[in-house]
Amino acid sequence: MTTARTDQMTLVAFLQASNVSVYSGSWRYPSAATDYLDVRYYQRIAQVLEDGLFDLLFFDDRLAMPSIYGGSPDEAVRYGARPIKLDLSTVLGAVAAVTEHIGLGATYSTTYYPPFHVARTFATLDHLSGGRAAWNIVTSVNDAEAQNFGLDRHIDHDKRYDRAEEFVEVVSKLWDSWEEGAIVGDRDSGVFADPDLVHEIDHRGEYFTVRGPLTVPRTPQGRPVIIQAGQSGRGQQFAARWADLIFTSDPSLQLSQEHYQRQKELVTEARRDAQSVRVLPMVYTIAGETETIAREKEAVFLDELVHPMASLTLLSEVTNHDFAGHSLDDEVTDELIDSISGIRGLVQGIRRHVGDGKLTLRTLANHRATLLQGPRFVGTGAQIAEQMREWFASRACDGFVIAATHFPGAFEDFVRLVVPELRALGLVRTEYPGTTLRENLSLDRPENQFAAERRSIDS
Ligand SMILES: Cc1cc2nc3c(=O)[nH]c(=O)nc-3n(C[C@H](O)[C@H](O)[C@H](O)COP(=O)(O)O)c2cc1C
């Protein structure tokens, strides 16, 4: 078993397949690029991140426009509250073509996609990128997504996770359905592959019936890297069982430390090596040549560019709750929080962060100027690097998911101003050590379950 590197941070970039980042209003920033429907936009961003030796870039996803607020997508469309999301496999294919080392992650839902499709998509990406694919497993969040896939309502939270458990079992079996060395390619005898090493999986479960085998052979990583970001108790358990990288989002250092410790305990309880599983909080960074420049940028975003309607629209989206019937000065009561069926933990986190004071919808919406909660590190490269060092050293994380204010400028600033400072502190790498994403993350190559079964029968 390999031992995970613990003296250096894992760096992940949080991307959206559009020009709106997790900051609503980000598309309005003067230097935000406008060519987001052109493949070169994504390729340019990826190359910046690879220059900064990021481990991974990953795209979030949602399978519907925000249309919970007021029961319509109008406000999302009007204010650019993330109404556009391009298909991720196409985007990542184009990014793979112009990069060599950086990991390529995409979000795919276990609630609305079939497992065969997901297994095939990521196996293909793993081959075409030379072993750099990563899958962010999500169970999806709201009714608008359900309504694009033939359902009226989003499936219940715990049932979504039951389904996700079986989904990932099926996907893993499909990835293993081709054993190592199955392809013979013997032109003389005419034997292409060894059928003894290619398996029908014959899965018949509560949610899925899948025969297999996959139509894509064993991939360079064996199985793509798994990402998960469940924040509820059930979500954390699910992540502990399956994920190589666990994304978190907590507004303060202390909450992050508690989360980190709990999540690592759960990984150990799941009989996995807690060291090799990385817990990575998302943070928003705004870097400037001086602190004043960074603070000015922050003020432009928060005070000038974020429209309260865009924030409320996004808040409705992630909580699956229509806030249109409320005024901005309404209090966010415990009753209201209990009625939220989407990402309830987000509102609970902000409630804890605000403390005993009255929490109004306006305050909540201001916090939601950024789509997910998480700390904001603002300042010079050295100041941001120091904050990151503090979190890393005090066991709040194994690295970070860096969220951008705007594309590609925020990542250009990060790579130009923060990465050299992190390097000077010895906290990030100076070259990619391996070829595949698993190698770069020092993760074990998973054993093929069919090969393991055969070996145990033979012995
Ligand atoms: C960094 C980060 C990225 C996320 N990306 C997505 C995403 O792309 N799509 C999605 O539906 N949910 C996304 N989520 C939400 C989680 O998958 C999860 O639903 C949420 O954290 C609530 O946890 P729970 O489902 O255990 O209640 C993300 C969460 C975090 C912290």
Q: What Å distances lie between residue 344 and 95, 180, 270, 458, CA to CA?
A: 34, 43, 25, 50
- Helices of type H across 320-441: 334-338, 344-354, 361-367, 381-393, 409-413, 419-424, 437-440
Q: How does residue 455 score in pLDDT terms, banded at 50, 70 and 90?
A: confident
Answer whether 61 contacts ligand 1 (Cβ < 6 A): yes
Secondary structure of residue 120 in the 3-state scheme: helix
Kindly list the domain boundaries of the chain, sorted by start residue.
10-296+371-458
Note the pLDDT of residue 167: 98
Q: What is the DSSP string of 150-180?
A: T-SSPPPHHHHHHHHHHHHHHHHHHHHSB-T
Greater confidence (214 vs 312) lies with 214
For ligand 1, the distance from its centroid to the CA atom of residue 108, given in whole angstroms, is 11
Answer whether 245 contacts ligand 1 (Cβ < 6 A): no
For ligand 1, the distance from its centroid to the CA atom of residue 229, given in whole angstroms, is 5
Integer Cα distance of 182 and 306 in angstroms: 54
Answer whether 62 contacts ligand 1 (Cβ < 6 A): yes
> At a CB cut-off of 8 Å and minimum separation 6, what does 424 contact?
385
Integer Cα distance of 342 and 363 in angstroms: 19
Q: Write out pLDDT tens, residues 162-204.
A: 999 999 999 999 999 999 999 999 999 999 999 999 999 999 9
Note the pLDDT of residue 2: 40
Q: How does residue 6 score in pLDDT terms, banded at 50, 70 and 90?
A: low
Integer Cα distance of 346 and 330 in angstroms: 18
| Rg, Å, the chain Cα set | 22
The burial of 93, by beta-carbon neighbours within 10 Å (0-12 exposed, 13-18 middle, 19 or more buried), is given as: middle
Q: In the numeric block, which tokens belong to residue 278?
A: 């990385």
Q: Write out pLDDT tens, residues 392-440.
A: 999 999 999 999 999 999 999 999 999 999 999 999 999 999 999 999 9
Greater confidence (305 vs 353) lies with 305
Note the pLDDT of residue 310: 84
Q: How does residue 271 score in pLDDT terms, banded at 50, 70 and 90?
A: very high
For ligand 1, the distance from its centroid to the CA atom of residue 105, given in whole angstroms, is 14
- Model confidence at 365: pLDDT above 60: yes
User: Which residue minimizes the CA distance to atom 18 of ligand 1?
Assistant: 230
Contact, 145 vs 109, CB < 8 A?
yes
The burial of 38, by beta-carbon neighbours within 10 Å (0-12 exposed, 13-18 middle, 19 or more buried), is given as: exposed
Greater confidence (330 vs 17) lies with 17
Contact, 226 vs 243, CB < 8 A?
yes
Tell me which DSSP letter residue 115 carries.
H
Note the pLDDT of residue 371: 54
Mean pLDDT on 259-275? 97
Answer whether 342 contacts ligand 1 (Cβ < 6 A): no
Integer Cα distance of 229 and 211 in angstroms: 29
Q: Write out pLDDT tens, residues 214-241.
A: 999 999 999 999 999 998 899 999 999 9
CATH number of 10-296+371-458: 3.20.20.30
Most confident of 297-301, 306-310, 364-368: 297-301
For ligand 1, the distance from its centroid to the CA atom of residue 138, given in whole angstroms, is 6
User: Could you identify the atom of ligand 1 that is nearest to the CA of residue 282?
Assistant: 1
User: Could you identify the atom of ligand 1 that is nearest to the CA of residue 141?
Assistant: 11
Answer whether 15 contacts ligand 1 (Cβ < 6 A): no
Q: In the numeric block, which tokens belong to residue 315?
A: 């808040």
Answer whether 73 contacts ligand 1 (Cβ < 6 A): no
Q: In the numeric block, which tokens belong to residue 238?
A: 């699910």
Q: Write out pLDDT tens, residues 324-357.
A: 888 878 888 888 877 777 676 677 777 776 777 7
Answer whether 229 contacts ligand 1 (Cβ < 6 A): yes
For ligand 1, the distance from its centroid to the CA atom of residue 451, given in whole angstroms, is 34
> At a CB cut-off of 8 Å and minimum separation 6, what does 52 contact?
11, 411, 414, 415, 419
Note the pLDDT of residue 317: 84
Answer whether 443 contacts ligand 1 (Cβ < 6 A): no
Note the pLDDT of residue 3: 39
Answer whether 345 contacts ligand 1 (Cβ < 6 A): yes
